[in-house]
Each structure stands twice: as C-alpha cells, then as structure tokens.
Copies of this chain bind each other. A is one copy, B any other.
Amino acid sequence: MLIHISFCPWECAGGRREEREALKSFEVIFFCVRLSFSVCVCPDRALVRVQDLTPDKADQLIWLRARVHTSRAKGKQCFLVLRQQQFNVQALVAVGDRASKQMVKFAANITKESIVDVEASVRKVEQKIESCSQQDVELHIERIFVVSQAEPRLPLQLEDAVRPDGEGEEEGRATVNQDTKLDNRVIDLRTTTSQAIFRLQSGVCQLFRDTLTKKGFVEIQTPKIISAASEGGANVFTVSYFKTSAYLAQSPQLYKQMCICADFDKVFCVGPVFRAEDSNTHRHLTEFVGLDIEMAFSYHYHEVIESITDTMVQIFKGLRDNFQTEIQTVNKQFPSEPFKFLEPTLRLEYTEGVAMLREAGVEMGDEDDLRSEHLARTYDTDFYVLDKYPLAVRPFYTMPDPNDLKYSNSYDMFMRGEEILSGAQRIHDAQLLTERATHHQIDLEKIKSYIDSFRYGAPPHGGGGIGLERVCMLYLGLHNVRQTSMFPRDPKRLTP
C-alpha cells in the first residue's frame, strides 16, 4: 500500500525504498524507513512525551518520537534507550508476532543520536530500571521509523560529556575536555547537564524581568551599534558602518541613563554587551548577556542598591523553589554547596572589606580589585555588596562620594566571592559630568549627545549591570563561564 504524496499531511514523500530513491529530490522532510512493510505513515497521530510514560499508560499502544540514546542487540532482541532532553526510557524490539528478524536487525543498526518514531506498547516492569528516568515502564516496539539518521561516528559521547571529573578513571573511562565540548556544542548541549544549565538560565532572565516589572520598571531596547565608546576608548570592538566606522556597545549604560532623563523613571534591559578584552580567564567573555537596571531614586542611592539586591534575592528564591531538578542534575556532574543568601543582603564598605582581608593576611593596596571568598565565609553568605569604591577605579560617569572625594557612590555585588554586578549612582549634572570626562581624557565631542541629555533636567539616578553567564555559573557553583554561555565568544573562539 502506498499513499500518494499529495495525501501526506507531512508533505513528505514516502513509500517503498525504490520509490523514495526516485523521489529523492522531493524527499526533503522525512527519511522514513519501515522494514516490515512499506507505507508512508503520515497519520493523525498524537506523540507521547517520554516524561509522561508512567505505569498509568500500561498496555496502551502509543507513538513516540525520540533519539536513540543507546542500542544493544542480544540474540533475537534489541534493547534501546530512547531519550527526549533529560528524560529516557528503555525499549525493546523482539522477534515475534509483531517484529521480524530483519526488523530487529534494522533496529540494532540505527545509529546513536538518530531520531526515530516508534509505535510501542507500554509495559510495567517488575524491577525498577535504575539507568533510566522512566523507571517503572518499558516499551515493546511494534514499528520503528528513522526520522533523521545520525552519522555513525559521533565527535563525542554524551555519557563521557556528563561524567564527573575523575569518575571511572580506573576503568579507563574518558571525560571530554572543554574545547572538544564547545567545538561540538550542538551535541554537548544535549547532555542532561547542559539542558539543565540553559533551562535554569532561561529562568534567571524570566525571574529578573518579572521581578522588575512588578516593581514598575519598563523594559527598554538600546542600540548596540554606537558612535562613541560607552566606557571610554579601551576594549571596544570597531564596526565598519557604510562609509564610516562605529563601535559595539560595551554596555547599555549611556542609553539607559538617557531613558532616565527621558522620564522612564525605572528601566531594565536584557541584551548582549561586547568587550574587546584580550582576557583568557574562566570568567571573561568578549560577548555576554547583560541584565541591566537603571532607576531614578528619591533621596539616596542606597534605594538603588536595595532594589537590585531584592531583585537578586527574588531570583535566588525562584531558582531554589522552581529549578531544584535542574540544580540537582548539574550537581551530579559538578557537585557544589547550595547557594546561601541573607535577608537583608549583607552590605559592607569597600574599606571594611579591605581591612578584613588585611587582617586575614591577604596583601592588597587600597585600590585593588577586591574579590575573595573570605568575606563570604566570614558572614556565611554567598551574596553580598561592597559599597563605596575608590573613585579612581570607576568609570567617568560615577558619582563621587560627597564626604570623601577619594571614594565614590559605587558598589559591586558578589556571588561566591566573584563579582557579578558593577553599579553606581551616576552623575546627573552636565557640568560635573564634563569635568569628570575631561579628567578621564574622554573626547567630549564624541559623547556630546550623552552629556547634552543632562542639560534639560535630570533626576538623581543609579543602576547596575549584571552578567547573566556569571550569575548562572556562580549560582550553580560552576568554574567556567563558558559552561553557562551557549555559544561562548572569547579572544580565541568565534565558532560555532
């Protein structure tokens, strides 16, 4: 029986293998192969999700689309593990009423990672299948089709990519190094660890936006191609722009401030930021996602700090309450302690932090970059704020501390001892801004439209920029920011 292609709701070409060959140029959608008989199956059929395969479906005949995670032939049987994202189920093809010897052989030859459609009956099992997420059932396959065939040699094995460091070393089991993972990111992203990381990352963005929207913030979209470097001239990528050249924004800084001058009062944005920094460290990327906040305040810039720390606390709580499965999945490969935070958030002044570190024997100058796990340990929190940084180490638009011009109304926030946010009260007076820009040797002509924004009334305001990848890395206790960037960019990596 061959259903004519025009009947096929897939708009694919099907039929017997020879017909499929003849129709090759049309056969663009599905690579359908069925061994027992040749029919193009394009049905009005519901596909069941692997995660829904539970004992209450016992003895039902269902259709399923999944990847072949593993396959193992054993005499007249072939055992498959079928996978959908982080869920998997055992399946069996056995010679008998429903399957021929050829079909078992065909099933055994399907390459790992191929996508298949199977028709199968769900069977309860007596003994739990420990190796699968669906432990109480297995599938008895009656029909199997290859939807998309994987090449036989995979550049990496998923089970190697999720193996914790050191585990199985004695048995000679491999782990996969990071560059191999990133070079073959599409396969690496299929692991349970990657699936969990990026679902959690999606959650961070959603929690960030939902919390701020509830607080009355408005989402803005700021341009990434700009005519002047937003943070001074260093570390900026140049773009050819028709007959002139432009830069990639190092942050939405100038634009989110302009929105404050334009009466949006409280704004946030989520978007890429670009740093042409030749830093090859575990925590630097040349392109990362900034979660940016800017708000007018009434009387004191600590109102801004409170808004931001409360937003972070809401994110931490949301992750803890809604992403336990993901957190535990990642922990299996990369064990770490649960993330600890206090309410209200611990806030120390920079000088206090320095004094504490000196007391603890850490040598540092007054204006050194301050990051340490020491403070976290002392206060038993993985999240804290350091306030009042030295003016000299902050960008030109930072408001000086009116009590001591050596310092500034600026702050960093830390997770597990590493910086995830830098922020400050901003100068909202065009004259002072001009003075500070001049002091920093910034070409005033280039930031004219920015400085002009403050000439027609500007409220006092402040904000900060959070690095999404760092937040995910540190929340999960990971050790490289490339693990929490889907397609990371660093000085040495531009692909995939």
Q: Is A109 an interface residue (CB 8 A)?
A: no
From A10, A26, A67, A496, residue with most partner B Cβ within 10 Å? A496
Least Cβ–Cβ distance between A85 and chain B, in angstroms: 5
Q: Which residues of B contact A218 (CB under 8 A)?
A: 198-199, 202
Q: Which residues of B contact A238 (CB under 8 A)?
A: 239-240
* A225 with B11: CB separation less than 8 A: no
Other-chain contact of A457, B5, B148, B206 (Cβ < 8 Å): B148
Q: Is A42 an interface residue (CB 8 A)?
A: yes
Q: Is A84 an interface residue (CB 8 A)?
A: yes
Least Cβ–Cβ distance between A97 and chain B, in angstroms: 28
Q: Which residues of B contact A115 (CB under 8 A)?
A: 457-459
Query: Do A494 and B226 contact each other (CB < 8 Å), given the known contacts A237-B239, A432-B28, A457-B149?
Result: yes
Chain A: residues with Cβ within 8 Å of the partner, total of 118
Q: Is A89 an interface residue (CB 8 A)?
A: no
CA distance A432 to B28 in the complex (A): 7
Query: Do A496 and B402 contact each other (CB < 8 Å), given the known contacts A28-B427, A239-B237, A274-B225?
Result: no
* A28 with B400: CB separation less than 8 A: yes
* B248 with A219: CB separation less than 8 A: no
CA distance A11 to B209 in the complex (A): 30
Q: Is A16 an interface residue (CB 8 A)?
A: no
Q: Is A127 an interface residue (CB 8 A)?
A: no
Q: Is A405 an interface residue (CB 8 A)?
A: yes
Q: Which residues of B contact A226 (CB under 8 A)?
A: 494
Q: Is A468 an interface residue (CB 8 A)?
A: yes
* A31 with B429: CB separation less than 8 A: yes
Interface-located stretch among A365-373, A378-386, A485-493: A485-493
Query: Do A198 and B402 contact each other (CB < 8 Å), given the known contacts A11-B300, A271-B272, A300-B11?
Result: no
Other-chain contact of A494, B225, B261, B270 (Cβ < 8 Å): B225
* A403 with B5: CB separation less than 8 A: yes
Q: Which residues of B contact A244 (CB under 8 A)?
A: 494
Least Cβ–Cβ distance between A315 and chain B, in angstroms: 14
Q: Is A223 an interface residue (CB 8 A)?
A: yes
Least Cβ–Cβ distance between A130 and chain B, in angstroms: 23
Other-chain contact of A241, B289, B459, B494 (Cβ < 8 Å): B494
Query: Do A298 and B47 contact each other (CB < 8 Å), given the known contacts A67-B457, A429-B148, A457-B67?
Result: yes
* B259 with A248: CB separation less than 8 A: no
**CB interface residues, A 111-158, toward B, < 8 Å:** 113-115, 147-151, 154
**CB interface residues, A 446-481, toward B, < 8 Å:** 449-450, 452-453, 455-460, 468
Q: Which residues of B contact A393 (CB under 8 A)?
A: none
* A85 with B265: CB separation less than 8 A: yes
* A221 with B263: CB separation less than 8 A: no
Q: Is A29 an interface residue (CB 8 A)?
A: yes
* A221 with B240: CB separation less than 8 A: no
Q: Is A75 an interface residue (CB 8 A)?
A: no
Name A's B-contacting residues (CB within 8 A): 5-6, 9-13, 25-31, 42-43, 45, 47, 65, 67, 84-85, 113-115, 147-151, 154, 185-187, 189-190, 194-195, 198-199, 201-202, 205-206, 209, 213, 218-227, 237-242, 244, 246, 248, 255, 258-259, 261-265, 270-272, 274, 276, 278, 286-287, 289, 298-301, 399-403, 405, 409, 425, 427-429, 432, 449-450, 452-453, 455-460, 468, 485-489, 491, 494-496
Given A11-B300, A29-B460, A206-B213, 9 new contacts (CB under 8 A): A11-B301, A11-B409, A67-B263, A85-B263, A189-B264, A198-B220, A239-B248, A241-B286, A258-B487
